[in-house]
Amino acid sequence: MEKRSELYRGKAKTVYQTDDPNRLILEFRNDTSAFDGEKVEQLDDKGMVNNRFNHFIMTRLEEAGIPTQLDRLLSDNESLVKKLDMIPVECVVRNVAAGSLVRRLGVEEGKALNPPTFEFFLKNDALHDPMVNEYHIQAFGWATKEQIEQMKTLTFKVNAVLKSLFEQAGLILVDYKLEFGVCDGELVLGDEFTPDGCRLWDAKTREKLDKDRFRQGLGGVVEAYREVAQRLGVQLS
Ligand code: TMP
């Protein structure tokens, strides 16, 4: 597999073309960003931890019948993935109130949500990822009605799989963000699943073990990611 030119540089990952037109390389960098790129820092080993974490989670999801973008791990910081046409919306499921939900609705952080909630956000840093609904998504042509239904179904299926996986590791899956794309007409889970894009709390102490440590300046960011990885049995180098 030959790595070719850079296709896109995101806030934490770089995407490269390869000699195979159907495959891309995702490079997980140490850059850590919050508040739509307003706060950025380099955290040693974060790229390696997130790349291996993502590979572990995507493999569990594939085993559960969820189609993902992942092909294989290439190195500490790189994974080979299928080339997708990305849908520019983020799918967020929340099991427990935190983050923007708490700010928006003035509800108490930590309240269990029954049923878990689902929200769409437009991927647009300049606009601070505004919340959108199914009408906006269809009216602006970001996805079809059928793709919207499939994104909701798959995002909740991921919840069933991962809630129990994290529970067995003594962790609460508070909320998470997924992105989807299309490959050969099929809706496929893309991007990443790492502690950069979800909230994970220790089940006993409720200690935050995700990117909120960075957002809130709590320190020990990569240490927390390593702790989660170790509890799940993710092989780190
Ligand atoms: P929020 O509480 O800020 O809306 O975020 C909900 C979850 O989605 C949280 O786990 C963080 C994740 N998320 C991202 O990873 N990137 C984003 O751009 C947004 C809006 C949320």
HEC sequence for 166-201? HHHCCEEEEEEEEEEEEECCEEEEECCCCCCCEEEE
Residue 180 tokens read as: 């989807």
Class of domain 85-219 (CATH, top level)? alpha beta
The pLDDT, as a whole number, for residue 237 is 87
For residue 114, the CA-to-ligand 1 centroid distance in Å is 19
Q: Which long-range contacts (CB under 8 A, 24 or more apart) does 2-11 make?
A: 11/37, 11/40
Q: Which CATH superfamily does the domain covering 3-82 fall into?
A: Phosphorylase Kinase; domain 1 (3.30.200.20)
Identify which of 53, 92, 123, 215 to mutate to test ligand 1's pocket (most ligand atoms within 8 A of the CB): 92
Mean pLDDT by groups of 10 residues along the chain of 237 residues: 96 98 98 95 98 98 98 98 98 99 98 98 97 98 98 98 98 99 98 98 98 98 98 96
Which atom of ligand 1 approaches the CA of 102 most closely?
A: 2
Q: Where in the chain are the domains?
A: 3-82, 85-219
- Burial label for 147, CB within 10 Å (0-12, 13-18, 19+), is middle
